[in-house]
Structure 1
Amino acid sequence: MDFLRLPLNFGTIASSYNISQTTIERFSSSVTSQTNLNGLLEILASASEFEQLPIRPGEEESMKKLIHHLPFSFENPNYTDPHVKANALLQAHLCRRMVVGNLVFDQREVILSATRLVQAMVDVISSNGWLSLTLLTMEVCQMVTQGLLHRNSMLLQLPYFTEELVNKCQQNRIETVFDLAEMEDDDKCKLLHMSDVQVRHIARCCNQFPIIHLKYNVVGSHNVSVQVTLLRDTEVGPVIAPRYPGTKEEEGWWLVIGDTESNQLLAIKRVTLQRKSKVKLDFAAPAEAGTRNYTLYFKCDSYKGCDQQYNFTL
């Protein structure tokens, strides 16, 4: 989808993601260029899809305790507000704080809905040309899928991994899934200290992480066309996401061109990648003489640590 600074058809976006037009309008009126991660989660939880989230007798005390241990603060929370509950359950998922009882089922519904809602939010935000906020919202997509905060290691996307095991890996200079995949089997077993079945499971997951080679060619100086070729090494399959409450059949990607100096998003396109794809992004550069620096971003909606970016100059 190519769009930028054009009147959005909220009905089309709502239909694409199977959410209400009221929600899209709320996103559009609530988000500003200064919105931070906390604000994004609050706006996400304000979606009308969460209005029917049940508030059961006696849950108020559970919500108070939960909110007290979450990474982002609430201002004067109403513990019987379903939107506050949605925000709390979403944050609990991101920081991997356990919920119990009926909250488990409520959290499942919140996460499944949030997956669609945050992708719609990307469409709304990118139409305003806000580069950094669009990129942050794409990262929220990854966070929701993986049950991670932005500061967490990408190794936590693997099954059986804990913070303690991540620290152990980092002490051995294993920072990424790709570092782990390149280890010899014997060294991997010694490091992980798990059963053979678990080690093999982790190895399979490492080998499934998307490895994508990107090449691009820039044509033109005012009416600019960026031609991108994408080649995937690994097989396409269901997303590896042990914390996701269901099966996500495949990951999606965005290609974005932006001017970081002015924080302006110039072009965006959604990509579903199989083995090989060719994609073209067009944008108009300023007519005034001078040097302009741009960045090409390749962002995933499901995995942390697989994004790419490239700088180019006109």
Structure 2
Amino acid sequence: MGVQFYEGKEHRYIDYPVMDVLQMMGRACRPTDDERSRCVLMCQQTRKDFYKKFLAEGLPIESHLPTHMLHDYFLAEIAVKTIENKQDAMDILTWTYFYRRMTQNPNYYNLHNVSHQHLSDHLSELVENTLNDLVNSKCISIEDEMDVSALNLGMIAAYYNISYVTVEVYTLSLKERTKLKGLLEVVSSSAEFETIPIRRHEDALLRRIYDRVPVKLDKADFEAPHFKTFLLLQAHFSRLQLPPDLAADQALVLDKVLNLLSACVDVMSSNAWLNALGAMDLSQMCVQAMWETDSPLKQIPHFEPEVVKRCKEAGIESVYDIMEMEDEKRTELLQMDARQMRDVATFVNSYPTLDVNHELVKGEYTAGAPILLKVTLARDFDEDDEGDDQLVVAPYYPSKKMANWWLVVGEPSTRQLHVIKRVTVSKTLAVKLEFTLPKGAHSLKLYIICDSYVGADHDIGLDSIDVAEGEDSDSDESMDSADEE
């Protein structure tokens, strides 16, 4: 194996960090099981003295806070108001391990002196540069050259625990008419996927996968982690068999992607774009490993193409149709053994059936005045089941997941999203959605979108609403424009 690995970004072999070697050696012993263990390290003769020295002596552990995560650390603390000004940011750094190591090993942190003045100047410059980067990415604002507060993009990044760079990429790349291909490309370019490993000679295998997936790019870079992520997601939707190392990489991607898609939904809905529904569809595709053009029946375990074809010929199009079939007819149609039928029953019983009632509160609708929509969601469930009926049945998704729902009021004719709310429905839930409309006639829809199952969504047309001109609409508009400035 040696003591080097191939670094795809730099296209060369580099040494394993000594701390990684120590960790691997530590795994040679099973605590409480082994009294002794042996680790053999194979390396070149020229490297032998180096490893003997560093493996026998204790190594100091240095902080990577300023180089890897300071921006996101500050952003998270600003979002929860732990940091409210630049002085708070300075103070919070003095409580970190980074501050302790600066005084002990100044050369590592590019410090030439450990006097109080030098430390203070260095921290001050670090805080200033970091906060300016966050301002330039529109994640925070600075008032009176001192006070800091989180903006909408910063709150999204902090809530989903994702990089500020990722949110900046989303806000620059996502547009009002971005469709599935664009969404896939933007999500794959997230900073979180930069650590996906690129292995030696892996490009040949990725080329074969690229030939089998439907969505292509103008420029394919088989040695870029973002393009590899793009391919692994498509391979997941197409349910392609992958070798173990790529399957492990794919699991890493899927573990992160739902959070990123939720952030995409929030960024697009912040701009009142109704195509946020596309990111919700992509979330369903990631959980159930299927394309949006596939039959909803494909997500049921053991529903291979021939089974789906038989169902389609029999007029069975949805999971609800499978539920409503008589047992004898279902058994005859599916032609499965007892174990497979149990798996089918488990999925069908977990598949959400929502009863939706909605009421638009009547009144005189005027421009800028709040309009209230009351929505009641009731979930059919078996009283004998415990809380596990909320757990999503998704054989191709590597983690456990609970089903959540997005409630969206939008106007298809103008592609405008007016209000959005994310909820979890255990039994029944009453939700109030409040929004405003400009003057004119509006034909709205209520969308209830599941983030985990395909075909469980509701698309409900609301009564046409005529909005009269508001008395204070002129003054409101002037105030809005002043706020924007």
1:280 pairs with one of 415, 432, 438: 432
Q: Distance in 1 between matches of 2:310 and 2:439?
A: 53
Q: Is the Cα–Cα contact under 8 Å of residues 227 and 280 in structure 1 kept in the other structure?
A: yes
In the alignment, what sits opposite 1:230?
A: 377
In the alignment, what sits opposite 1:294?
A: 444
- Name the amino acid aligned to 2:332: K
Q: Distance in 1 between matches of 2:437 and 2:266?
A: 22
Q: Distance in 1 between matches of 2:444 and 2:377?
A: 19
In the alignment, what sits opposite 1:20?
A: 163
In the alignment, what sits opposite 1:310?
A: 460
Q: Which protein has the larger Cα radius of gyration, Structure 1 or Structure 2? A: 2
Secondary structure of 1:179's aligned partner: helix
Once the two structures are superposed, the pairs formed by residues 54-203 of structure 1 within 5 Å of their partners are 54-131=197-274, 133-203=275-345
Deviation of 1:97 after TM superposition, in Å, equals: 1.7
C-alpha RMSD of matched pairs (Å): 1.4
Secondary structure of 1:98's aligned partner: coil
Which consecutive residues of structure 2, in runs of 5 or more, have no partner in the other structure? 1-149, 383-388, 466-485
Q: Is the Cα–Cα contact under 8 Å of residues 162 and 260 in structure 2 kept in the other structure?
A: yes
Q: Distance in 2 between matches of 1:40 and 1:8?
A: 23
Which consecutive residues of structure 1, in runs of 5 or more, have no partner in the other structure? 1-6
1:183-215 C-alpha deviation (Å, 9 max, x unpaired): 122221111111112112212321221011111
Deviation of 1:167 after TM superposition, in Å, equals: 0.7
- Name the amino acid aligned to 2:438: P
In the alignment, what sits opposite 1:241?
A: 394
- Name the amino acid aligned to 2:226: H
Q: Distance in 2 between matches of 1:294 and 1:185?
A: 40
The size of the alignment, in residue pairs, is 304
2:192 pairs with one of 39, 49, 53: 49
In the alignment, what sits opposite 2:63?
A: none
- Name the amino acid aligned to 2:156: I
1:147-177 C-alpha deviation (Å, 9 max, x unpaired): 1111011111111111221111111111111
Q: Is the Cα–Cα contact under 8 Å of residues 390 and 426 in structure 2 kept in the other structure?
A: no
In the alignment, what sits opposite 2:117?
A: none
1:260 pairs with one of 412, 426, 435: 412
Deviation of 1:34 after TM superposition, in Å, equals: 2.1
Secondary structure of 1:257's aligned partner: strand
Q: Distance in 1 between matches of 2:258 and 2:151?
A: 21
Q: Distance in 1 between matches of 2:237 and 2:381?
A: 27
In the alignment, what sits opposite 2:11?
A: none
Q: Distance in 1 between matches of 2:319 and 2:172?
A: 39
- TM-score w.r.t. the length of structure 1 is 0.93
Q: Which moved more, 1:49-58 or 1:226-235?
A: 226-235
1:108-163 C-alpha deviation (Å, 9 max, x unpaired): 111111111111110011111111x1111111110111111110111111111112
In the alignment, what sits opposite 1:213?
A: 355
Deviation of 1:234 after TM superposition, in Å, equals: 2.2
Structure number having the greater helix percentage: 2
Q: Is the Cα–Cα contact under 8 Å of residues 158 and 242 in structure 1 kept in the other structure?
A: no
Q: Distance in 2 between matches of 1:34 and 1:58?
A: 37
In the alignment, what sits opposite 1:4?
A: none
Q: Is the Cα–Cα contact under 8 Å of residues 157 and 240 in structure 1 kept in the other structure?
A: no
Q: Distance in 2 between matches of 1:27 and 1:51?
A: 16
Q: Which moved more, 1:53-62 or 1:227-236?
A: 227-236
Q: Is the Cα–Cα contact under 8 Å of residues 296 and 310 in structure 1 kept in the other structure?
A: yes
Q: Distance in 1 between matches of 2:334 and 2:177?
A: 42
Deviation of 1:287 after TM superposition, in Å, equals: 3.2
In the alignment, what sits opposite 1:269?
A: 421
Deviation of 1:94 after TM superposition, in Å, equals: 1.0
Q: Distance in 2 between matches of 1:212 and 1:109?
A: 32
Secondary structure of 2:231's aligned partner: helix
Identity percentage over the alignment?
A: 38
- Name the amino acid aligned to 1:145: V
Deviation of 1:59 after TM superposition, in Å, equals: 0.2
Deviation of 1:8 after TM superposition, in Å, equals: 4.8
